[in-house]
């Protein structure tokens, strides 16, 4: 298959991933990304780390000192965490929480307002939900 990227996601992928598995794919020329909640250390063989912590934002720093992106799920009324509590990251995103698979436009509008007020954050939308792809 011509694709050269693998994204490890679903549940908490660091629970199942081993250095052995990652090494096998790396040795075949694949780059590997992970989407984690930050509750566990990320293996060194990962090329791109996205972290979407649910709680205890500050504790992520102790396990993952450098990230490619932080993504925080936000609903209307949530307080945007102070960016300094997170590990060093290249990108910081807020992502509006949907109601199951339904767009919650109040949450979307709230997130848009947050990124206008805090330009160090960007908006991340789950496009597959917006265009109804399952």
pLDDT at residue number 28 = 95
Query: Residue 134 falls within a domain, yes or no?
Result: no
- pTM score over 0.75: yes
Per the CB < 8 A criterion, the answer to whether 93 and 63 are in contact is: no
Range of the domain at 90: 5-129
- pLDDT over 90 at 27, yes or no: yes
Query: Residue 88 falls within a domain, yes or no?
Result: yes
Q: What is the largest CA-CA distance in the chain?
A: 46
Over residues 90-132, the pLDDT tens digits come to 999 999 998 887 889 999 999 999 999 999 999 999 887 777 7
Q: Give the rounded percent of residues in the chain with a pLDDT score beyond 70.
A: 99
Query: Residue 11 falls within a domain, yes or no?
Result: yes
Over residues 58-77, the pLDDT tens digits come to 899 999 999 999 999 999 99
pLDDT at residue number 43 = 94
- The first and second tokens of residue 69, run together, are 């992106």
Query: Residue 33 falls within a domain, yes or no?
Result: yes
Residue with tokens 């990230």: 67
pLDDT at residue number 66 = 95
Mean pLDDT of 20-41: 96
> How many domains in the chain?
1
CATH of the domain at 18: 3.20.20.70
Mean pLDDT of 4-31: 95
Query: Residue 71 falls within a domain, yes or no?
Result: yes
- pLDDT over 80 at 22, yes or no: yes
> What is the C-alpha R_g of the chain?
16
- CA atoms of 119 and 18, how far apart (whole Å): 37
């Amino acid at each position: 298959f011509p694709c050269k990227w693998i994204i490890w996601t679903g549940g908490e992928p660091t629970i199942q991933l081993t250095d052995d598995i990652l090494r096998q794919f790396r040795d075949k020329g694949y780059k590997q990304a992970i989407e984690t909640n930050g509750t566990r250390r990320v293996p060194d063989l990962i090329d791109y780390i996205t972290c979407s912590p649910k709680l205890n934002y500050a504790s992520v720093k102790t396990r993952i000192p450098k990230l490619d992106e932080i993504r925080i799920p936000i609903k209307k009324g949530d307080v945007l965490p102070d960016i300094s509590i997170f590990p060093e990251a290249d990108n910081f995103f807020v992502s509006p929480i949907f109601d199951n698979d339904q767009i919650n436009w109040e949450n979307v509008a709230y997130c848009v307002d947050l990124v206008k007020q805090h330009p160090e954050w960007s908006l991340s939308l789950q496009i597959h939900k917006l265009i109804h792809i399952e």
